[in-house]
């Protein structure tokens, strides 16, 4: 699972009619604790040494600014491939604890010859893995615009751990930024109580052109014709018979990450958790217990968790066999980094052991996790170890589907082309090496910046050309606007379900008390569905679900176009009733029922 909060491309442009209300909300807040240094913007200009190959940063006098007399000016003379190709940096001596509620406040305007400008404010760890708590993209015009950016600290940040950035490298432009403050309100403040700059995303409009294409694709790719033929024992056709068609399971994988504790423990919350898992998902990923370190610490708990899920009739995804960074592996494995033969043996024996322990029980394995940035093992043993790992998994269980998994493919507004290219290259190298890779996992951890829906489709097209099914493996969304959270969940799920290359959609947890980002959970701590949780249910079990009644016509034939999956069909003619089970596949289904 991704250990930083990855953010998606949204447009944040102040709605001035609403800004007065946000200012009033800000004035009512307690003083808070200042995180940003007093002269952060001046320090940013100096830290960039005024110039790099893409442009210059200066600390300049400004006239008529709202409450400040100097500002950071960023002049991009040559656009870079990514926004962070030209970024300023300020380190903070203040500490911050995971879960602290924060607010960034700043002003920005286009400068020089630029009538419009765009940038990104970033709050992140100042060293690898650069864990981000906020990466907020904004647009501005010639007039000063004010931005409120609420967020939650994603980790514990020590002294000199916090880096503040403004990124502007994605376009040739000039902008000025002033009045920067980053304030902590501790863990007691509700994120929703802070002022905010309204956000939206491209493709949100009800009449957006992509919606028609998506609907047509869903109709074509996710539905088929179910033909029911009803006749008597003597073979006589029975027109006028009532036919009830009820879907009981999707063919497409809709699921969640789940925790072992609420599945196996006792208590009211655990009972409710188990009921939701049983009734909501046909596929799940066990969040932690199948990761290498956890599996070796408590094998039996992993076995018990898989058994519970299989007994409940739920398919299981195994996550993950090799996360090739030293910090992600058992300590004794990292200690073998200078002993390549022993290291290779330890890795491959583990893969055969764990996959073999669950032979025939796991639908899909994330064999290799996040190999683009986690490269310690590859440096020690060569890139070929990834293909060897897939082959070892295939030997241990020929039936399980073997996936690779990575992040920042659909994130950062689809603008992280370096990571996308790296992932594409790794997959292509594995396929060229004849490694048994059978699926592509794409994480989807969303925050304030939301990828345009057409960009999502474009990225899926690119990776779909590799000829492997794509699965969204770790979806969640964490923004301060519940309506945006619900709308983007609806649109992102729709785009993914509509794309012919995809085979599943897994959300990374659903309950607030068992979620790595509580605000992203679909269900509150007291088991109330939130807006985006209702969207999930409405799409999966209403809009994309077939439950209908019809009657047989001439020849005793009834036809229903339904979503692919498992069905219960009940036929009634006169006093006679019969119920049968059927599976609707892409090629359709023909069911004969004798009454």
- Quick: pLDDT tens for 503-521: 999 999 999 999 988 889 9
446's tokens: 């969303």
Q: Is the pLDDT of residue 466 over 80?
A: yes
pLDDT band per the 50, 70, 90 thresholds, residue 271: very high
Residue 17 banded pLDDT, cuts 50, 70, 90: very low
Q: Is the pLDDT of residue 283 over 60?
A: yes
Residue 316 phi, psi (nearest 5) = -115, 135
Same fold, 11-200 and 252-505: no
Distance CA 330, CA 221 (A): 43
Strands of 242-250's sheet in order across: 547-551, 242-250, 565-573, 576-584
Q: What is residue 79's predicted lDDT score, i.e. its pLDDT? A: 83
pLDDT of the residue at 5: 30
Over range 280-291, report the average pLDDT: 98
> Which pTM does this prediction carry?
0.85
For residue 331, count other CB atoms closer than 10 A to its CB.
9
Beta strands in 361-478, from DSSP E residues, in sequence order: 364-369, 401-406, 439-446, 470-477
Contacts made by residues 418-426, CB under 8 angstroms, sequence distance 24+: 418/81, 418/82, 419/372, 419/373, 420/459, 420/462, 422/372, 423/372, 424/462, 424/463, 424/466, 426/371, 426/372, 426/386
Looking at the chain, the whole-number percentage of residues with pLDDT higher than 90 is: 82
How many CA atoms lie less than 13 Å away from 464 in the CB half-sphere?
15
Cα Rg for the chain, rounded, in angstroms? 27
Return the pLDDT at 192.
Answer: 81
Given its phi and psi angles, is residue 160 left (phi above 0), alpha (psi -120 to 50 degrees) or beta?
Answer: left
Confidence check: pLDDT of 16 > 70: no
* CA dihedral sign, ordered 309, 310, 315, 317: positive
Q: What is the pLDDT of residues 559-588, one digit of tens each?
A: 999 999 999 999 999 999 999 999 999 999
Residue 51 has a pLDDT of 54
Nearest CA to 121 out of 111, 101, 107 is that of 107
Give the length of the chain. Answer: 595
CA dihedral 34, 37, 41, 45 (to 10 degrees): -160
Split at pLDDT 50, 70, 90, the class of 3 is very low
pLDDT in tens, 315-334: 999 999 999 999 999 999 99
226 vs 5: which has the higher pLDDT: 226
In the CATH scheme, what architecture does the domain 252-505 have?
A: Alpha-Beta Barrel (3.20)
Residue 187: both structure tokens together: 């863990």
Decide: helix, strand or coil at residue 363. Answer: coil
Contact 492, 531 (CB under 8 A): no
Name the pLDDT band for 10 (thresholds 50, 70, 90): very low
The pLDDT value given to residue 169: 87
Q: What is the pLDDT of residues 302-316, one digit of tens each?
A: 999 999 999 999 999
Look at residue 6 in the predicted model and tell me its pLDDT.
Answer: 30
Q: Above 70 in pLDDT, residue 172?
A: yes
So what's the pLDDT on residue 518? 86
Burial per residue of 423-436, b for 16 or more beta-carbon CB atoms within 10 angstroms, e otherwise: bbebbeebeeeebb
Cα–Cα distance between 303 and 438 in angstroms, integer?
A: 24
The vertex-312 CA angle with 503 and 2, nearest 5°, equals 50
What is the per-residue pLDDT for 49? Answer: 58
Query: For residue 557, is pLDDT > 70?
Result: yes
Task: Give me the sheet containing 589-594, strands edge to edge.
Answer: 557-563, 223-231, 589-594
* Three-state secondary-structure class, residue 297: helix
**Could you tell me the residue ranges of all domains in the chain?**
11-200, 225-247+549-594, 252-505
Judge whether residue 90 has pLDDT over 60: yes
Does 83 score more than 70 pLDDT?
Answer: yes
Token pair 């940038």 is found at 119
**Section 471-484 average pLDDT:** 92
Q: Average the pLDDT over 59-84 and give the result.
A: 90
Among left, alpha and beta (phi > 0; psi -120 to 50; other), residue 47 is alpha
Cα–Cα distances (Å) from 263 to 317, 374, 514, in that order, read: 16, 31, 11
Helices (H), 105-163: none
What class is the 225-247+549-594 domain? Answer: mainly beta
Residues 372, 409 contacting (CB under 8 angstroms): no
The helix (H) or strand (E) run that includes residue 528 is: none
- Percent of residues, the chain, with pLDDT higher than 70: 97
∠ Cα 547 551 557 (to 5°): 105
Residue in the structure block whose two tokens are 């993914």: 496
Check residue 2 and give its pLDDT: 32
- pLDDT tier at 398, thresholds 50, 70, 90: very high
Q: What is the pLDDT of residues 405-463, one digit of tens each?
A: 999 899 777 878 889 999 999 999 999 999 999 999 999 998 777 899 999 999 999 99
Q: Phi and psi (nearest 5°) for 405?
A: -140, 140
Q: How does the average pLDDT of the chain come out, rounded?
A: 93
Write out pLDDT tens, residues 355-381: 999 999 999 999 999 999 999 999 999
Q: Which tokens go with 35? A: 């995180």
CATH 1.10.10.10 fits 11-200, yes or no: no
- Smallest CA-to-CA distance from 132 within 447, 516, 452, 522 is with 447
Helix 453-464 with 482-498: angle, nearest 10 deg: 30
Q: How far is residue 316's CA from residue 363's CA, in Å, rounded to a whole number?
A: 6
């Amino acid at each position: 699972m991704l250990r930083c909060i990855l953010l998606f491309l949204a447009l944040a442009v102040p709605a001035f009619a609403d800004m007065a209300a946000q200012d009033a909300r800000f004035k009512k807040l307690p003083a808070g604790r200042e995180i940003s240094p007093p002269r952060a913007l001046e320090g940013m200009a100096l830290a960039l040494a005024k110039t790099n190959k893409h442009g210059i940063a200066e600390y300049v006098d400004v006239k008529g600014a709202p409450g400040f007399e100097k500002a950071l000016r960023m002049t991009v003379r040559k656009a870079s491939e990514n926004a962070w190709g030209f970024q300023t940096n300020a380190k903070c001596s203040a500490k911050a604890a995971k879960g602290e509620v924060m607010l960034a406040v700043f002003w920005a305007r286009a400068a020089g010859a630029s009538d419009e400008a765009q940038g990104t404010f970033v709050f992140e760890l100042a060293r690898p893995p650069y864990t981000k708590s906020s990466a907020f993209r904004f647009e501005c015009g010639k007039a000063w615009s004010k931005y409120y950016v609420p967020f939650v600290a994603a980790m514990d940040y020590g002294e000199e751990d916090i880096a503040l950035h403004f990124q502007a490298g994605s376009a040739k432009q000039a902008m000025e930024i002033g009045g920067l403050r980053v304030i902590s309100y501790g863990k007691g403040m509700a994120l929703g109580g802070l002022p905010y700059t309204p956000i939206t995303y491209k493709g949100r409009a009800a009449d957006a052109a992509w919606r028609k294409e998506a609907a047509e694709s869903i109709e074509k790719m996710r539905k088929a014709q179910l033909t029911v033929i009803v006749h008597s024992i003597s073979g006589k056709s029975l027109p006028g018979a009532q036919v009830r068609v009820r879907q009981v399971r999707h063919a497409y994988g809709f699921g969640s990450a789940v925790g072992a504790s609420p599945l196996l423990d006792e208590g009211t919350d655990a009972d409710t958790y188990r009921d939701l898992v049983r009734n909501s998902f046909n596929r799940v990923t066990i969040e932690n217990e199948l990761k290498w370190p956890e599996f070796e610490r408590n094998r039996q708990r992993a076995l018990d968790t898989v058994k519970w899920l299989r007994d409940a009739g739920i398919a299981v995804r195994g996550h993950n066999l090799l996360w090739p960074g030293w910090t992600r592996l058992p300590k004794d494995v990292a200690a073998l980094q200078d002993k390549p033969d022993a290291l290779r043996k330890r890795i491959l024996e583990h893969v055969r052991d764990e996959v073999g322990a669950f032979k025939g029980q796991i639908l899909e394995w994330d064999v290799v996790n996040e190999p683009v940035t986690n490269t310690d093992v590859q440096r020690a043993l060569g890139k070929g170890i990834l293909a060897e790992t897939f082959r070892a998994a295939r030997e241990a269980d020929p039936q399980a589907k073997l996936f690779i998994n990575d992040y920042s493919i659909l994130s950062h507004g689809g603008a992280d082309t370096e990571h996308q290219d790296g992932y594409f290259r790794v997959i292509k190298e594995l396929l060229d090496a004849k490694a048994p890779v059978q699926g592509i996992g794409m994480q989807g951890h969303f925050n304030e910046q939301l990828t345009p829906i057409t960009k999502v489709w474009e990225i899926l097209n690119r990776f779909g050309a590799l000829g492997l099914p794509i699965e969204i493996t770790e979806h969640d969304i964490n923004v301060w606007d519940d309506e945006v959270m619900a709308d983007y969940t609806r649109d992102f799920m729709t785009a993914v379900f509509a794309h012919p290359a995809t085979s599943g959609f897994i959300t990374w947890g659903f309950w607030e008390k068992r979620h790595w980002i509580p605000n992203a959970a679909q269900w509150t701590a007291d088991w109330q569905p939130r807006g985006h949780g209702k969207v999930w249910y409405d799409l999966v079990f209403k809009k994309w679900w077939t439950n209908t009644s019809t009657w047989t016509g001439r020849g005793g034939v009834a036809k229903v176009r339904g979503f692919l999956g498992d069905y219960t069909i009940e036929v009634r003619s006169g006093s006679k009733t019969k119920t049968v089970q059927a599976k609707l596949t892409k090629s359709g289904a023909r069911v004969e029922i004798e009454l």
